[in-house]
């Protein structure tokens, strides 16, 4: 696991929560960024040690969704029994982040592991979320594996692109902060 102070983890957790709130659905009309939810769960797995971070972020995501549907007039098309498949979906991202954090080392070669962990956990996430919606929402009378394959081909690339965008930005920020810390350490020596 990355060796981050409790204070750093607190700031990161708050930043991830704010990022999710700003990009999930249409909660802030002035902000039109792609959803960062998948990246938030993956990065929380990488950067936050407390296990309660996952349920706290899932609770935040759910509250944001229920507010959007209940009070902001956003259509409730996605609200169905399949909604609860988001628990294992987001859990797979969080676990993928946890696994990567065990493999992380301070070298650019570590980026290949980061990309691989993010892509593979995102695929499992989509199987739970997209597959769960297909099979459990009641919106598809005869769901099939071929329909799931079509949905993966249609929707997974954009979800993966959003995830990689935010994970890439986080990697650049992490590298910059790490380099600055090393420079400060060298200046003190």
Round to whole Å and give the CA distance between 74 and 8: 35
Q: Is the residue at 1 inside a domain?
A: no
**CATH number of the domain where residue 156 is located:** 1.10.1760
Reply yes or no on whether the pLDDT at 10 is more than 90: yes
102 in a domain, yes or no?
yes
- For 121, the domain range is 6-188
d(CA 9, CA 50): 9
Specify the number of domains making up the chain. Answer: 1
Residue 87: is its pLDDT beyond 90?
Answer: yes
133-177 confidence digits (pLDDT tens)? 899 887 888 889 999 999 999 999 999 999 999 999 999 998 888
**Assigned domain for 104 exists:** yes
Hey, CA dihedral for 62, 65, 69, 70, is it positive or negative?
A: positive
Asked if residue 57 belongs to a domain, the reply is yes
First to last CA, the chain: 27
Compute the distance between CA of residue 166 and CA of residue 36 in angstroms, rounded to an integer. 7
Assigned domain for 100 exists: yes
Percentage of residues in the chain having pLDDT higher than 90: 51
> Is the pLDDT confidence value at 59 over 80?
yes
What's the average model confidence in pLDDT over 98-124?
88
CA-closest candidate to residue 20, choices 64, 50, 52: 64
CA dist 54 → 17, 49, 69, 94, 155 (Å) = 11, 10, 23, 7, 24
pTM above 0.85, yes or no: yes
Is 151 domain-assigned?
yes
In a domain, 23, yes or no: yes
């Amino acid at each position: 696991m990355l060796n981050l102070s409790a204070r750093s983890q607190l700031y990161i957790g708050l930043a991830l929560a704010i990022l999710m709130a700003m990009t999930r659905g249409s909660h802030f009309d002035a902000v039109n960024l792609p959803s960062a939810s998948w990246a938030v769960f993956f990065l929380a797995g990488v950067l936050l040690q407390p296990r309660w971070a996952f349920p706290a972020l899932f609770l935040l995501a759910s509250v944001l969704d229920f507010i959007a549907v209940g009070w902001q007039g956003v259509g409730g098309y996605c609200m169905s029994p399949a909604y609860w498949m988001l628990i294992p979906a987001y859990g797979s991202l969080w676990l993928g982040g946890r696994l990567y954090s065990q493999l992380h080392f301070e070298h650019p070669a570590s980026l290949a592991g980061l990309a691989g962990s993010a892509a593979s956990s995102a695929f499992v996430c989509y199987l739970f979320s997209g597959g769960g919606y297909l099979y459990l929402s009641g919106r598809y009378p005869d769901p099939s594996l071929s329909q799931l394959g079509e949905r993966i081909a249609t929707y997974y690339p954009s979800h993966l692109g959003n995830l990689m965008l935010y994970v890439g930005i986080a990697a650049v920020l992490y590298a910059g902060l790490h380099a600055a810390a090393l420079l400060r350490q060298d200046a003190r020596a």
